[in-house]
Amino acid sequence: MKKLIPVLVVFAIVGGVLLVMRARTGNSSSTSANVVSDKTAKAGEIVTNGDSGPASSSQQTTTYIPTDLDDAHRELEKMLSAQEFEHIKAMTNEDGMIEYHMSLGMGLRNQWGLWRDSRLARYFNQLGVHHPDDMSGIILETFWCKLHSLPFRLDERVRYYQAYWRSMETPKGGSPKDGARIAWVITKGSGPGTVHLGLSTSDRSYWRYEYGSDRGIEPATEQDRKDLDELKNTWKNVGTKIEDMLKE
């Protein structure tokens, strides 16, 4: 299993303010190229027209939406060319399927309504998987397993993605020094071992929290301090006040 998000931190300047955010691949529901009809989605179809606006009657096409993982694999078998089959069979492990994330995977997320509460999305929700990137990842990785006659390890995959999202949650608790709120501004890694770095809103002291550790919130390491100092210098260079970045 492989995710596309082992990102330290991503910077963006919006309206003169530097934002710190974690990058995420894939389309959002607001930019999806497909329009899902609730009526047809319940019947296992979505209405698409290749852009973000409503499809006119002359533009509409219907796409079958699989009911579950096995059904999704059957549809993939219909969609892929013989050349693609051979390419996937030649892959030495499932991690190679990551190359399809922004091509075939994006098509699955859009056409099968994974951004729009389709029946396939609801199937994954019931398993405990809620992000479309994760849904398409499971579909593609287990398809590789199917072609190689290997077990899907579905429960393991679900636990992996759930652990990932837990690791991205904002740490709870205030500064061990005085209880002040900590503004968490950097996230390094993903899953077990993810490190969150923050600044106390009372005295600007530096703190860290490592997901999966039993140490709780603790003082930042020397490298953590360098990362936070670099971030503060970036704020200064773009004319952003640190007070603005520490607001809730």
Q: Tokens 């995977």 correspond to what residue?
A: 105
Interval 56-100: pLDDT, tens: 444 456 889 999 999 999 999 999 999 999 999 999 999 999 999
CA dist 66 → 36, 101, 106, 112 (Å): 14, 19, 16, 7
Spatial distance between the Cα atoms of 199 and 1, rounded to a whole number of angstroms? 33
pLDDT reported for residue 247: 86
**pTM for the whole thing?**
0.71
- Residue 192's pLDDT band, with cuts at 50, 70 and 90, is confident
pLDDT reported for residue 55: 44
Is pLDDT of 147 > 80?
Answer: yes
Interval 111-122: pLDDT, tens: 999 999 999 999
Average pLDDT over residues 48-62: 46
The number of C-alpha atoms within 13 Å of 12 and in the hemisphere containing its C-beta is 6
Q: What does the buried/exposed string (b/e) look like for 101-124 if buried means 16 or more CB atoms within 10 Å of the residue's CB?
A: beebbbbbbbbbbbbbebbbbebb
Is pLDDT of 106 > 50?
Answer: yes
* DSSP letter assigned to residue 237: H
